[in-house]
Amino acid sequence: MKKILVTGGCGYIGSHTIVDLVQNGYEVISVDNNSRSSINILNGVEKIIGKKVKNYTVDLCNFDDTFAIFQENEDITGIIHFAAYKAVGESVENPLMYFDNNLNSLINILRCAEEFHVPHVVFSSSCTVYGNPDEIPVTENTAFKPAESPYGSTKQMGEDIVKQTINSYPDMNAILLRYFNPVGAHPSGFIGEIPLGRPANLVPGITQTAIGKLPQMQVYGTDYPTKDGSCLRDYIHVSDIAHAHTLALDYLIEGRNETSCDVFNLGTGNGYTVLEVIRMFEKVSGQALNYVLADRRPGDVIAIYANNDKAKTLLHWDPQYDLEAMMQTAWDWEKKQNSITN
């Protein structure tokens, strides 16, 4: 059984990916310092997969502690690197924290991958690398525009770090997965998104407002050049994102890759505005959402959605969830969490 190290394994996408990997025959080791996640999410993971998950509570910015994980697990076949700070607004307020955490953790992981001859790396990138593109949908060949936030800059730099590292080590291969906007929760209801503090992302902001955790939510920007003035994004269910990582590892391990470092967009190919997402949630939940229209937020891209033909063709990836299902699973997860705490 091939052993995969998942960094940020207690996080939103990381936990869903652990489930998908195990269900597709992989052995998984998790590492997470839990600065932006809860180790308790592994309880939900273990309920779904029916086994314990080996987890290290380690800060990957500490090289010695990171190195020790590889020393204890010298038969690692691949690494999926999720661990990173991801809040656009926070990165604008504290850019040095983002550069320090997101880049140093990646460098330490790659140093260990080279030292211990780990052949396969999958890097968690983002559609923020495209900045405000001149044309949409974006393809993997769309030129980068300046990043709109330090978070986006760390993903642009991270991709470059991975590419140049892989070019220097012919026995290593990598895939860069550019996510669009992951939403929703596992259909079992055992795992989902757990924001720490006030949510920075749209959908948990919607569900927490609807359940009463937040008194009101804000829609940032009403004058963008979109169909209703709010930002437009490509929302993709987290379980579809998770499965793409399993397929990416399959692709590398089976030797189907034609280049040592390849890149794939992970989106549905459909663009929805913030207000359209709210209306879909209102349809699913049967209740009106309490929100107000506010000024633009620094760091937000105007509009972006994916061309996902490459992932469909080469990875054989086929997203299964539409926007209604995304909102339904997110709402079911929020209601379940609320019933547990109350």
Q: How far apart are alpha carbons 341 and 324 in whole angstroms?
A: 26
> 3-class secondary structure for 292-317?
EEECCCCCCCCECCECCHHHHHHCCC
Look at residue 55 and give its three-state secondary structure: strand
The active-site residue, picked from 56, 85, 98, 151, is: 151
Sign of CA pseudo-dihedral 156, 157, 160, 162? negative
Three-point CA angle 218, 222, 227, nearest 5°: 120
Q: How far apart are alpha carbons 9 and 3 in whole angstroms?
A: 14
DSSP string, 94-114: -HHHHHHHHHHHHHHHHHHHH
Question: Does 187 sit behind a cis peptide bond, omega within 30 degrees of 0 on the bond before it?
Answer: no
Q: How far is CA 217 from CA 182, 209, 278, 315, in A?
A: 19, 6, 11, 38
Q: Give the list of residues 6+ apart from residue 341 with CB closer than 8 angstroms, or none.
A: none
Is 321 considered catalytic here? no
Q: Give the list of residues 6+ apart from residue 307 with CB closer than 8 angstroms, or none.
A: 137, 138, 139, 265, 269
Q: How far is CA 130 from CA 80, 143, 245, 266, 320, in A?
A: 22, 7, 21, 13, 25
* Spacing of C-alpha 177 from chain mean position: 9
**Phi-psi label, residue 50: left if phi above 0, alpha if psi -120 to 50, beta otherwise:** left
Q: How far apart are alpha carbons 127 and 17 in whole angstroms?
A: 19
In terms of Cα–Cα distance, which of 317, 147, 165, 335 is closest to 249? 317
Catalytic center residues: 151
